[in-house]
Amino acid sequence: MYRAILYLIFIATYVGHAQDSPGNRPELLLEKTVKIKPLSESELSYEKGYNDFFINENLSKIYAENKNHRTKHEALANRIFKVVDVRPFESNGIKNYVIQLQDTIRNEAVYYKFNKFSESNKKYYFQVIDGIKYPKDFFCDFLTHIIDKNTDEHKLTASISEGLHVVKIKKGKTITYRMEVVTVEQVISMLPGVVLVFEDGRKLEKPQAEAVMGTNNNDNIVYIATFELTPAEMAILTQSRIVSGKISKFIKNYAEGEKFMEILKCLVRTDV
Predicted confidence (pLDDT) per residue in 36-82, tens digit: 999 999 999 999 999 999 999 999 999 999 999 999 999 999 999 99
Q: How confident is the model at residue 272 (pLDDT cuts 50, 70, 90)?
A: confident
Query: What confidence score (pLDDT) does residue 152 get?
Result: 84
185 against 269, higher pLDDT: 269
DSSP state, residue 62: B
C-alpha torsion angle, residues 61, 63, 67, 73 (rounded to 10): -160
Q: How far is CA 173 from CA 107, 168, 227, in A?
A: 60, 13, 21
pLDDT at 26 over 90: yes
- Taking the C-alpha atoms of residue 107 and residue 249, their distance in angstroms, rounded to an integer, is 56
In order of their start, the domains of the chain are: 2-13+137-269 (2.60.40), 26-128 (no CATH)
Sorted by sequence, the CB contacts under 8 Å of residue 93 that are 6+ apart come out as none
Distance CA 34, CA 120 (A): 19
pLDDT value, residue 216: 74
Give the tens place of pLDDT for each residue, 104-116. 999 999 999 999 8
Rounded Cα gap, residues 140 and 85, in angstroms: 25
Residue 261 CB: number of other CB atoms within 10 A?
21
Q: What's the rounded Cα separation, in Å, for the pair 232 and 177?
A: 11
Distance between CA atoms of residues 57 and 122, nearest Å: 22
- pLDDT tens-digit profile of 6-22? 434 433 333 344 489 99
Tens of pLDDT, residue by residue over 210-251, are 999 887 776 778 899 999 999 999 999 999 999 999 999 899
Query: In this structure, are residues 251 and 244 in contact, taking their beta carbons and an 8 Å threshold?
Result: yes
DSSP lists the bridge partners of residue 86 as: 99
